[in-house]
Amino acid sequence: MRYGPGTDDYLNELAQDLRPLDEGIAWFASLSEEEQTGALFLLGQFCFQAHPTAEEAQESIRHSGLRPTHTPAVMLVRGRVEDQVGRIAGLTPQHERMKAFRLLIALLTIADGRRRAQCRVHGCNHPWHRLTVNRETAPLDANYGHGGR
How many beta carbons lie within 10 A of that of residue 10, not counting itself? Answer: 27
The whole-number pLDDT of residue 115 equals 78
Mean pLDDT over each residue of the chain, to the nearest integer? 82
Between CA 13 and CA 36 the distance in angstroms is: 17
88 compared with 119, residue with greater pLDDT: 88
Between CA 17 and CA 20 the distance in angstroms is: 6
Q: Is the pLDDT of residue 2 over 80?
A: no
Q: How confident is the model at residue 6 (pLDDT cuts 50, 70, 90)?
A: confident
Between CA 99 and CA 57 the distance in angstroms is: 14
Distances (CA, A) of 17 to 71, 78, 112, 117: 25, 28, 12, 15
Per-domain residue ranges of the chain: 7-129
